[in-house]
Amino acid sequence: MEGICTSRAMRIVGHLDMDAFFAAIEQRDDPRLCGLPIVVGADPRGGKGRGVVSTANYKAREFGIHSALPISRAWRLSESARKQGNPPVTFLPVRMERYAEVSAHIMETLRRFVFLVEQASIDEAYFDLSSCESYTLAEEVCRKIKHAIQEEERLTASVGIGPNKLIAKIAPACTSPMA
């Protein structure tokens, strides 16, 4: 049949997702923030702010704060958690130029290991591992990618693999930090 791929080669797709990317960069760049709940997004203006949470680290997520949550709601959740004896949430503005700079470094690192990379967002990418010819070898490449990012950027990433983008993206859900 003309136009139909008949190759029997196994397709292996990888998906890289940086863990709480914006918040992780803020903590890395300012070690005083380590261990504290962090929200990056719009100015909460004492609970009257407009806009949304861009990201929340895992400590802030324990209070129900997550990406795309209205910032005023995030403020209320943070205040509720604080009144229960938890540390106050640190709200930080988005520093997109900084995140883009770090993202570019991460994508360069990824391209040292694989040739075909499709950047899906500032902190996500799909990549082709089909040349590995086995999932065992693909997993080893992924471990090396994660290790290189950790060593070079001091940031963590979740990586999944599968026969297509969907499976690769949902695969790390069970291995992500705090999953």
| pLDDT tens sequence across 71-123 | 999 999 999 999 999 999 999 999 999 999 999 999 999 999 999 999 999 99
CB-CB neighbours of 80 under 10 Å: 12
- Beta strands 157-162; 13-18: pairing state: antiparallel
How far is Cα 160 from Cα 172, in angstroms, rounded to an integer?
A: 5
For the chain, which residues make up each domain, given as ranges? Answer: 13-19+96-174, 22-92
Among this protein's residues, is 124 annotated catalytic? yes
CA–CA distance from 161 to each of 70, 77, 134, 147 (Å)? Answer: 32, 35, 11, 16
Which of helix, strand or coil describes residue 141? helix
**pTM, entire model:** 0.88
The correct CATH number of 22-92 out of 3.30.1330.10, 3.40.1170.60, 3.30.110.30, 3.40.350.10 is 3.40.1170.60
From the list 2, 26, 124, 152, the catalytic residue is 124
* Model pLDDT for residues 22-76, shown as the tens digit of each residue: 999 999 999 999 999 999 999 998 889 999 999 999 999 999 999 999 999 999 9
Instruction: Return the CATH number of 13-19+96-174, one of 3.30.70.270, 3.40.50.720, 3.40.30.10, 3.60.110.10.
Output: 3.30.70.270
